[in-house]
């Protein structure tokens, strides 16, 4: 299984000629989802859900499907009837030949004055977990955690404790589009020293082979 890092929180996962894309938002490349057989979206914020990128994927591949929570599905179902599937916590399904489990319900707290929206995370093939914008502990072992390293809703101590709670073999950085070059060495040192898991930071376009 091959994972390709795209901009910010978007990744492409490829296996046996099939491609699954997660969270093609406006910080990812314009064609981040083009060529996908299936797309997963964790929530409605535009850095994870960009309608133009999804339309490009759906138009490029008439067989492509989208799996997402209701708040996003309601915005897309009319444009792509029968091709958008609503999912929620506890669901399991197959997307482009990948086995997917849904974990989580709510976005992390940004501020008490801002209402929380729904957010789901996805475990792919029992091995890779993308939590979206939440520090959801999936309640099952995962080999690779796609770690949201920086966001308006998090602080680094929470990110470190989150890795310890999930206890993956390794983490791969996502949700790093707002992280400046000056800040990256600080995050690299703190997460590398304290998070108690192997860690990689890929630049957009770089890839890594993952165990299933």
* Each residue's pLDDT tens digit, 111-155: 999 999 999 999 999 999 999 999 999 999 999 999 999 999 999
CATH 3.40.50.10490 fits 2-209, yes or no: no
- Confidence tier at 211 by pLDDT (50, 70, 90): confident
Main-chain dihedrals φ then ψ at residue 198, nearest 5 degrees: -60, 150
Helices (H), 20-111: 51-60, 70-76
Beta bridge mates, 132:
none
Report how far apart the first and last C-alpha atoms of the chain are (Å, whole number).
7
Instruction: Indicate the domain borders of the chain.
Output: 2-209
User: Does pTM surpass 0.95?
Assistant: yes
For residues 145 and 149, give the distance between their C-alpha atoms in angstroms, rounded to a whole number.
Answer: 11
């Amino acid at each position: 299984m091959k994972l390709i890092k795209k901009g910010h929180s978007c990744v492409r996962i490829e296996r046996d000629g099939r491609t699954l894309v997660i969270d093609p938002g406006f910080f990812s490349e314009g064609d981040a989802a083009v060529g996908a057989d299936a797309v997963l979206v964790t929530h409605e914020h535009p850095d994870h859900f960009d309608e133009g990128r999804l339309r490009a994927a759906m138009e490029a591949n008439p067989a492509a499907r989208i799996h997402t929570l209701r708040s996003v599905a309601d915005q897309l179902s009319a444009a792509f009837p029968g091709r958008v599937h609503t999912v929620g916590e506890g669901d399991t399904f197959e997307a482009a030949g990948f086995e997917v489990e849904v974990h989580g319900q709510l976005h992390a707290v940004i501020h008490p004055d801002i209402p929380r929206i729904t957010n789901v995370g996805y475990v792919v093939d029992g091995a890779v977990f993308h939590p979206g914008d939440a520090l959801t502990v999936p309640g099952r072992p995962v080999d690779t955690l796609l770690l949201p390293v920086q966001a308006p809703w998090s602080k680094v101590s929470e990110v470190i404790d989150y890795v310890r709670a999930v206890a993956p073999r390794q983490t791969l950085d996502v949700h790093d589009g707002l992280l400046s070059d000056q800040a990256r060495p600080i995050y690299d040192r703190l997460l590398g020293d304290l998070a108690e898991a192997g860690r990689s930071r890929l630049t957009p376009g770089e890839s890594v082979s993952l165990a299933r």
